[in-house]
Amino acid sequence: MAKILVVDDEAKIRTVVREYAEYEGYEVGEAEDGMQAVEMAKANNYDIIIMDIMMPRLDGFSACKEIRKTLKTPVIMLSARGEEYDKLFGFELGIDDYVVKPFSPKELLARVSAVLSRAASKEFENQVIKYQGLVIDMTAREVTIDGERIQMTPKEYELLFYLVKNMNIALTREKLLEKVWGYDFYGDDRTVDTHIKMLRNSLGEYRNLIITLRGMGYKFEKINEK
């Protein structure tokens, strides 16, 4: 699961965010000021940073600028300062979201999930995944095996790309229905299972890259590109 760095000089806020994040399955690190945040961000491979603005030693904006010199880690600013100027300044620095205190921990975690999803999409949108004779071209929306293009339905493409974008992450059938078919879809789990079967048939000898998680759903096995 993703690793979060929570940066705030208020221990109570760090504790609340940690508890909610760990309940959702995230791994959490803590920093109490901007200077410590910069050091921890460089030493650890965090997937996202939740950063307060008003902190001792180094404020959140300055810490973000320093981190951005070497890392592209997504940042959510967390601050009691809700003025438009502060938000615009943060977005000009390249932050990904801005949450005003007091905040709902559940909403904050929802924003974390949304930012991570966007980051994952950007990472893969122009990527070509190659594994032995299998080539998955995200941009061209093409899948080839040993140079031969595989004909699949639009939903098979969408399902495969979503699985690959979330490579090695356990995905429930409900999550797949929500993300691939949409909130207003009235199907059930069998829809997912049927399309997984079709997709495996299309992938042929690479069908085993899609792992069944009994009683839960599926995941696309992490592969080493070649």
Model pTM? 0.59
Residue with tokens 């009994």: 214
> Can you give the pLDDT at residue 186?
59
Would you place residue 223 in the very low, low, confident or very high pLDDT band (cuts 50, 70, 90)? low
Q: Can you tell me the mean pLDDT for 161-184?
A: 84
> Can you give the pLDDT at residue 206?
94
Q: Can you tell me the mean pLDDT for 187-216?
A: 90
> Can you give the pLDDT at residue 124?
59
Would you place residue 180 in the very low, low, confident or very high pLDDT band (cuts 50, 70, 90)? confident
> Can you give the pLDDT at residue 150?
93
Q: Can you tell me the mean pLDDT for 16-41?
A: 94
pLDDT tens digits, residue range 45-86? 899 999 999 998 899 999 999 998 899 899 999 988 777 888
> Can you give the pLDDT at residue 191?
86
**Strand arrangement of the beta sheet that strand 210-213 belongs to:** 171-172, 217-220, 210-213
pLDDT tens digits, residue range 102-112? 999 999 999 89
> Can you give the pLDDT at residue 224?
62
State how far Cα 21 lies from the chain centre. 14
Q: Is residue 126 predicted with pLDDT exceeding 90?
A: no
Count of other CB atoms within 10 angstroms of residue 155: 15
Domain architecture of the chain: domains with CATH: 3-123 (3.40.50.2300), 126-220 (1.10.10.10)
Q: Is residue 13 predicted with pLDDT exceeding 60?
A: yes
Angle between helices 84-93 and 60-68 (to 10 degrees): 20
Q: Is residue 174 predicted with pLDDT exceeding 90?
A: no
Supply the mean pLDDT for the chain.
Answer: 88
d(CA 172, CA 162): 12
**3-state SS, residue 81:** coil
Would you place residue 125 in the very low, low, confident or very high pLDDT band (cuts 50, 70, 90)? low
Contact (Cβ atoms closer than 8 angstroms) between residue 117 and residue 125: no
Count of other CB atoms within 10 angstroms of residue 189: 13
Q: Can you tell me the mean pLDDT for 145-160?
A: 91
Q: Is residue 157 predicted with pLDDT exceeding 70?
A: yes
